[in-house]
Amino acid sequence: MITVLDPGFYTTIQDMGRDGFRQYGVPVSGVMDRYSGKLANMLLGNNSSAAVLEMTMTGVKLKFKQPAHVAIAGADLQPSVNGISVDSRKIISLKKDEVLSFGKMQNGFRTYLAIEGGFKSDVVLGSQSMYQAITKSFKLQKNDSLMFRSVQSEFNDTKANVKYDTSILNSTELEVTEGPEFQHLSKKLQKQLFNSELTVSKNNSRMAYQLEELFQNNLKPILTSPVLPGTVQLTPSGGLIILMRDCQTTGGYPRVLQLTEKAMNIISQKTTGNHIKFRRNGW
Amino acid sequence: MVFELRYSQYNSHSILIEWPAIIDDIILENILNFKFDIEKHFLKQKIEVVNAYNSLLVIYSLTIDNINDEIFILKSLYKAQNNQKKLKFNTWEIPVCYHDEFAQDLDDFSKIKKLSKSQIIHLHSQPIYTVYFIGFLPGFLYLGGLNSQLHLDRKISPDLNIKKGSVAIGGEQTGIYPQNSPGGWHVIGNSPISIFDVNLNPPCQIKSGDCIKFSAIDNKEHNEILNMVENSSYQLKTL
């Protein structure tokens, strides 16, 4: 068992999401930056869909009541055990009563903590991913107890490292394909979307990232239609909304672009004021 | 009935199929028949098919290798559509208490629309509404069939907390809030039932293609049903 001494700014339990219930209006949820989440699991030999902690902007402070192996990937968050700094993207062994904490976020916005065997929590509609009105709690709270499947393998070489694609944290280019209503845009507006440097607004969350720049348009609204994480909507007032993992299942704004899976991971590591650019991609 | 459909790749593992942009029961039936055929055809693969007013999104579990092959399969399924089958749809009775206690916007609504409260309740609880699909929130039903006398634009600024079960009108639509949520619709009543329950499988008994009818209840009945819902002893009734 683990005790949460400090839950951080916004920390949730996430797996690869809740498939199969979209027709009831249930968002998919799941790890925002799947690349980093999967990598943390891979380091420990976990199944890539094992539940991890997703930390946003600031880290957690956890007290381990039993020994465990963990691994960290994603934004650089300066992890330490009992105050002594440890490496990300390596297996970290914790003894009973040791405390894992984090420092200042250096690069990126979301950090993943995987634990050998995976975190245990209620499986609701096929997933452990926290989401308001689906799971009992929607984020970690102080004094929460976290359970995990204790495996206790012998890791012979804890120096083993895997190559991490840092472009997930550093890239500002989001590869996109055309959305269903892209062709409704004027040629001029289509060009503008790809030539503009765009800014992440303060309205960014697991549900959606709104961008600051406005693109005047006279697109007609559409009949409410299905949307997916990564769909970019253009509102009548000209705002761009990038839908993220916790997004609704349907929407009524024109869907002009669609992010690739890698672009979803990249945008998940961005925060207020960061700049991005769309890059057009074919199939 | 055969419509001219538009097929397009939506992302690396999904295909969007679109019907003419009209809200219509015949289109809905055609969509749901096709959805049934697709689900049946891909039973062994894990796919998910989501519908809205005039579209279907087919979400595959794996990346699509050859989009033309996949679209060909879908087109063949549509061509071979078997109208013999009869999808089974229910008409559900949804109890609603329109009493002032639950209807914070009914007074204003009545003044703006120049209709008495009892006229509003009558116009709202008379029709059989079609459930086109579920979206916006888990268990939020997109209903068609609101009497045009009750159409009223959404509020300019949304209320921050509309209570679970609130029955409301926004624009040309009416709906039931399945959970506490912000929202810009005019609340005219409350239903004590739980439309969406994660402990049930499926979590929502009402599905796309079903119908609902509101039936007016008083405060006492509202309270009784609420208690039954909390004890899990309430059964949603069909007409």
The residue ranges of every structural domain in chain B are 6-79, 91-238
Please compute Rg for chain A using Cα positions: 20
pLDDT band at A154 (very low <50, low <70, confident <90, very high): confident
* Residue-level pLDDT at B201: 87
* Stronger pLDDT, A84 or A149, i.e. the higher one: A84
> Is A155 at the interface with chain B, CB within 8 A?
no
pLDDT band at A271 (very low <50, low <70, confident <90, very high): very high
pLDDT for residue A159 is more than 80: no
* Residue-level pLDDT at B90: 96
- Nearest CB among B23, B138, B202 relative to A133 is that of B138
CB contact (8 A) between residue B198 and residue A177: no
Architecture per CATH, domain B6-79, reads as 2-Layer Sandwich (3.30)
- How distant is the Cα of A281 from the closest Cα of chain B, in angstroms? 11
Architecture per CATH, domain B91-238, reads as Beta Barrel (2.40)
> Is B204 at the interface with chain A, CB within 8 A?
yes
Q: Which residues of A touch B179 (CB under 8 A)?
A: 133
A126: nearest Cα among A249, A246, A12, A21: A21
- How distant is the Cα of A81 from the closest Cα of chain B, in angstroms? 38
Residues contacting residue A45 through CB under 8 Å, at least 6 positions apart: A116, A153
CB contact (8 A) between residue A23 and residue B207: yes
CB contact (8 A) between residue A250 and residue B133: yes
Which pair of structure tokens corresponds to residue A35?
């690349």
* Residue-level pLDDT at A247: 97
- How distant is the Cα of A164 from the closest Cα of chain B, in angstroms? 23
- How distant is the Cα of A258 from the closest Cα of chain B, in angstroms? 7
Least CA distance to B14: which residue of chain A?
A228
* Residue-level pLDDT at A156: 62
Over residues A162-184, the pLDDT tens digits come to 789 999 999 999 999 999 999 99
Q: What is the pTM of this model?
A: 0.94
Distance CA B99, CA B216 (A): 9
pLDDT for residue A147 is more than 90: yes
Going residue by residue through chain B (239 aa), what tens digit of pLDDT does each one get?
A: 889 999 999 999 999 999 999 999 999 999 999 999 999 999 999 899 999 999 999 999 999 999 999 999 999 999 998 666 678 999 999 999 999 999 999 999 999 999 999 999 999 999 999 999 999 899 999 999 999 999 999 888 888 899 999 999 999 999 999 999 988 999 999 999 999 999 988 999 999 999 999 999 999 999 999 999 999 889 999 99
CA distances to A30, A58, A84, A90, B199 from A78, rounded to whole Å, are 24, 10, 10, 13, 40
CB contact (8 A) between residue A258 and residue B203: no
Q: Which residues of B touch A177 (CB under 8 A)?
A: 9, 11
- Nearest CB among A21, A23, A124 relative to B208 is that of A23
The reply to whether B6-79 and B91-238 are identical in fold is no
Which residues lie across from B130 on neighbouring strands?
B144, B211
Provide the number of CB pairs (under 8 Å) joining chain A to chain B: 104
Domains of chain A in start order, with CATH, are 2-167 (no CATH), 171-280 (2.40.100.10)
Which one-letter amino acid corresponds to residue B5?
Answer: L
- Nearest CB among B11, B16, B134 relative to A23 is that of B134
The answer to whether A234 touches A264, Cβ cutoff 8 Å, is no
* Residue-level pLDDT at A161: 65
Maximum separation of any 2 CA atoms in chain B, in Å: 60
The answer to whether A168 touches A232, Cβ cutoff 8 Å, is no
- Nearest CB among B12, B133, B203 relative to A125 is that of B203
Residues in chain A: 283
Which one-letter amino acid corresponds to residue B52?
Answer: A
- DSSP letter at A23 equals G
* Residue-level pLDDT at B223: 97
Over residues A80-95, the pLDDT tens digits come to 999 999 999 999 999 9
The answer to whether A219 touches A180, Cβ cutoff 8 Å, is no
The answer to whether B214 touches B120, Cβ cutoff 8 Å, is no
> Is A248 at the interface with chain B, CB within 8 A?
yes
* Residue-level pLDDT at B156: 81
pLDDT band at A149 (very low <50, low <70, confident <90, very high): confident
ipTM for the complex shown: 0.94
- Nearest CB among B48, B52, B179 relative to A133 is that of B179
CB contact (8 A) between residue B48 and residue A222: no
Residues contacting residue A51 through CB under 8 Å, at least 6 positions apart: A13, A14, A15, A118, A119, A120, A121, A128, A129
The mean pLDDT of A114-122, rounded to a whole number, is 97
Which one-letter amino acid corresponds to residue B81?
Answer: Q
> Is A228 at the interface with chain B, CB within 8 A?
yes
A169: nearest Cα among A36, A40, A48, A279: A36
- How distant is the Cα of B200 from the closest Cα of chain A, in angstroms? 9
Percent above pLDDT 90 for chain A: 91
> Is A125 at the interface with chain B, CB within 8 A?
yes
- How distant is the Cα of A271 from the closest Cα of chain B, in angstroms? 24
Q: Which residues of B touch A248 (CB under 8 A)?
A: 135-137
* Residue-level pLDDT at B127: 97
> Is B207 at the interface with chain A, CB within 8 A?
yes
pLDDT for residue A239 is more than 70: yes
A46: nearest Cα among A122, A115, A111: A115
Least CA distance to A19: which residue of chain B?
B48
Helix count (H) and strand count (E) of chain A?
4, 21
